[in-house]
């Protein structure tokens, strides 16, 4: 019922039933499935409007739960309608690393695997888990910070220059980095 009400409100605001709609799910991952299904069933705009669903990580607890969630979303959305994001990449300094690396003529000549022997990434946070205890109990700080944020930083710092600034080209270069990482046991 609430999702029908949401659609009515959106239609009134936009003055049309075919307006584009974007939904950003910054919710506990345990409700992504049910909420995304209800949004698709009740809030989808009429043609020619499009709909996008942004799902903030963590996207499942592990590969199995991530795949299950993807399968569930694909019942209601095309892959082009789904955006899986890490909010950390939206931080201004993180976004500026790519620009700094590849637009600066001095840095771009020396910031490469031939000139840099090692990179240390230090994560320091003053605020603790304030209000996030339940989240960290379920997903853990390792999964949240290291597996997501710090690996993203590493891939941005270590990647080769992408063919273009298109998301796919940047993603492809980041994947190359992640594939060659040697993890010591």
Q: Which residues are catalytic?
A: 149
Closest CA to 41 of 84, 2, 87: 2
Q: Dihedrals φ, ψ of 155, to 5°?
A: -65, -35
Measured CA to CA, the distance from residue 58 to residue 67 in angstroms comes to 12
| Other CB atoms within 10 A of residue 1 CB | 6
Secondary structure (3-state) at 33: helix
Closest CA to 38 of 81, 64, 6: 6
- Helical H segments across the chain, by residue range: 2-14, 32-43, 63-76, 92-103, 105-110, 133-141, 151-158, 167-180
């Amino acid at each position: 019922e609430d999702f029908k009400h949401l659609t009515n409100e959106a239609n009134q605001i936009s003055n049309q039933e075919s307006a584009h709609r974007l939904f950003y799910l910054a919710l506990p991952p345990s409700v992504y499935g049910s909420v995304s299904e209800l949004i698709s069933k009740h809030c989808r705009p009429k043609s020619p409007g499009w709909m996008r669903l942004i799902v903030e990580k963590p996207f499942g607890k592990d590969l199995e739960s991530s795949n299950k969630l993807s399968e569930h979303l694909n019942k209601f959305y095309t892959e082009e309608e789904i955006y899986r994001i890490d909010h950390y990449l939206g931080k201004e300094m993180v976004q500026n690393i790519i620009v700094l690396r590849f637009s600066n003529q001095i840095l771009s000549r020396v910031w490469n695997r031939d000139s840099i022997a090692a990179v240390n990434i230090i994560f320091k946070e003053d605020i603790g888990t304030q209000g996030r205890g339940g989240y960290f109990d379920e997903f853990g700080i390792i999964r949240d910070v290291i597996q997501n944020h710090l690996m993203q930083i590493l891939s941005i710092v270590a990647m080769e220059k992408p063919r273009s600034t298109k998301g796919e080209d940047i993603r492809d270069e980041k994947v190359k980095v992640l594939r060659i990482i040697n993890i010591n046991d």
